[in-house]
Amino acid sequence: MVSNGNPHALPETGAVPAAARIRGLARRYGRPGAAEVMALRGVDLDVTRGEFTAVMGPSGSGKSTLLHCLAGLDRPTAGEVYVGDREISRLGDGDLTTLRRREIGFVFQAFNLIPTLSAYDNILLPFRLDGRRPTAEELAHVTSLVERLGLGQRLDHRPHELSGGQQQRVAIARALGTRPRIVIADEPTGNLDRRSGTEVLRLLRDAAATAGQTIVMVTHDPLAAEVADRTVFLEDGRITRVARGLSAREISEVMLEAEGAVQ
Ligand SMILES: Nc1ncnc2c1ncn2[C@@H]1O[C@H](COP(=O)(O)OP(=O)(O)OP(=O)(O)O)[C@@H](O)[C@H]1O
């Protein structure tokens, strides 16, 4: 049971603890009137521990906004976002930063690597930001990530000396290095060839299956979504469907229908 005195905390239910819950989430950009954009219009979503969720939807349907609100990188206009039992949209900036550093790994669409740091120092940055050195066991985990991502020969390079796909893999190693409870990835295979993309999806699957990490991934690729436990479909700021066990072909069909509806 929740006992931290947080008035916004929800009681725990069921055997599988929710890693995160989203309730009535709305996000408006711009002032009310002609210029306003409702990026999210009342989204409810639970993600459980060790679950791998893919998020799909047409361009502009609100996928990145959903990830940013879930990670505490953007503040909702209305609704609540719980990470564990903490309602993060009401946390102050300091608490939010600490929670993000300790509990959430984020792979940005634009990678967001630090240009003056080597690939290796970028990967170790979350430890440094948390004011600690990785343990020997954590360093071994980082080394294994680096090897699986094929980055061994590139660790001394700065981001501008790396290809887009290599930068993306550095960003993925950085998000997974500290084994955060929640890994949020915005198109993590978008710049990768099929082979590297497959390895990244395997890494995410393993993180969920063996370390119990919760993965939420936006993708436009039905083959990537097929690897997840379930796919959440967004359209015009709303969840229209949550499906498990769909093949890539079935996912494509849902997407084609949604894109048809947008045109
Ligand atoms: N900072 C912002 N200011 C104004 N409008 C924004 C802002 N960020 C997003 N939007 C708008 O909100 C809507 C949802 O954007 P979002 O980036 O979440 O969509 P998306 O589904 O991730 O799109 P894509 O697949 O193209 O990345 C879009 O209409 C977008 O133009």
Q: How far is the CA of 100 from the centre of ligand 1 (A)?
A: 22
Alpha helices by DSSP H, listed for 73-150, are 93-103, 119-129, 136-148
Alpha helices by DSSP H, listed for the chain, are 63-70, 93-103, 119-129, 136-148, 164-176, 194-211, 222-227, 248-262
Instruction: Indicate whether 216 belongs to any domain.
Output: yes
Residues having CB within 6 Å of any atom of ligand 1: 29-30, 37, 39, 57, 59-65
Instruction: Indicate whether 3 belongs to any domain.
Output: no
Indicate the number of domains in the chain. 1
Residue type, 110: A
Check residue 118 and report its DSSP letter.
-
Instruction: Indicate whether 25 belongs to any domain.
Output: no
Domain limits for position 144 = 50-61+98-262
Q: How far is the CA of 259 from the centre of ligand 1 (A)?
A: 16
Q: How far is the CA of 61 from the centre of ligand 1 (A)?
A: 7
172-219 pLDDT, tens per residue? 999 999 999 999 999 999 989 998 899 999 999 999 998 899 999 999
Tell me how far the alpha carbon of residue 3 is from its chain's centroid.
Answer: 28
Under a CB-based contact definition with an 8 Å cutoff, are residues 155 and 137 in contact?
no
Q: How far is the CA of 256 from the centre of ligand 1 (A)?
A: 20
Is this prediction's ipTM beyond 0.85?
yes
pLDDT tens series, the chain, 263 aa: 334 444 444 444 455 668 999 999 999 999 878 889 999 999 999 999 999 999 999 999 999 999 999 999 999 999 999 999 899 988 999 999 999 999 999 999 889 999 999 999 999 999 999 999 999 999 999 999 999 999 999 999 999 999 999 999 999 999 999 999 999 999 999 989 998 899 999 999 999 998 899 999 999 999 999 999 999 999 999 999 999 989 999 999 999 988 876 65
Residue of 27, 37, 38, 69 best suited for mutating to test ligand 1, as the one with most atoms within 8 Å of CB: 37
Instruction: Indicate whether 243 belongs to any domain.
Output: yes
**CATH number of the domain where residue 227 is located:** 3.40.50.300
Q: How many other CB atoms sit within 10 Å of the CB of residue 132?
A: 11
Instruction: Indicate whether 80 belongs to any domain.
Output: no
